[in-house]
Homo-oligomer: A and B are copies of this chain.
């Protein structure tokens, strides 16, 4: 018995947009299957494997039979460990019971959005920014109020811009530092101003610190140094090299934790158990040593890619000091939209990058995101190919 009718999906669900990069990825796979060499500068995760001490902890956990549900907020010892990490690395006092372990930063985003927002509310977000914010907000009937940010602002939101964009329905503001897609940081003072503004207006400040630790030539901060009443999203995915383990966390004000814990019970039951045990090894000196070496490596790659792209005529005026992305303005003489640029670049020279359209509307047609999640020689090869591609573009 086959149904011929279309299922009645919720309009909001139908409105969730596909990522443009997915279409490029499909095409890249096809080309690869045909034997073409493709360089992936679109990948939003470290190419490094999970550090060995974390893997060893995972193996030990499996050996010990750590395969049952944990408490909804996560293993107490992991929450304690994170609390210590904040104290030791950032001098921030974050009590363990203010930290909820979640299924990735993705789970933390769901938790914080659903805890704070109701349909009809609005949230200030940067344009460009991580695409899931917008999509998840809209699924909840919440309107993302996009504020255009530019290279002049380091692609970050200033209190002045936030204030100018404010509406009576704004209930929260979300920023990321280091940011996706630009890799730029939010200065401490700028963050303090945003915090003051949010407090004055009775809105929540949400800071996505998923790229924390991946910072180059700049001091590493946490918004938790600032105040107790910020909501900080984080994850073991990026700095700790654990994307596939789906483990993140949320630091919340004490008074919000009980409600969020109840929500987590219902939404997730609990985060992944072996992953939580594995993550206990994320802070061991042996692990941090590996991670710091990787950080040095990312810095070298950033320097190479930043220099190279600038030499080729891309505009990267902001100061991309973190994450593993560069958000590059197409050379002025390139007469095509970034979507078409990325598509053609993939076809002609086999370099994949993410068109700006995935991150918003503002200037999207002029920007492409390059990720430096591959080795230096590959970056060099990519730069050579892009150079060739630009020559072809010019000669048309």
Contacts and interface: CB of A to CB of B under 8 A. Distances in A.
Interface in A112-131: 114-119, 131
Given A103-B103, A114-B139, A273 B244 contact: yes
A253 interface: yes
B69 A227 contact: no
Contacts of A115: 9-10, 13
Interface residues of A, number: 82
Given A58-B274, A66-B244, A228-B1, A139 B17 contact: no
B68 A2 contact: no
A191 B249 CA distance: 40
28 contacts: A1-B227, A3-B199, A3-B228, A7-B229, A7-B253, A9-B116, A10-B118, A12-B114, A12-B118, A13-B115, A18-B262, A55-B62, A58-B62, A58-B274, A59-B62, A67-B243, A67-B244, A68-B243, A68-B244, A103-B103, A104-B268, A110-B267, A132-B265, A132-B267, A244-B270, A245-B274, A246-B268, A246-B269
A136 B269 CA distance: 12
Interface of A: 1-3, 5-14, 16-19, 22, 45, 49-50, 55, 58-59, 62, 65-70, 103-104, 106-107, 110, 114-119, 131-132, 135-136, 139-141, 171, 199, 202, 204, 226-229, 241-246, 252-253, 255-256, 259-260, 262-263, 265-275
A107 B242 CA distance: 20
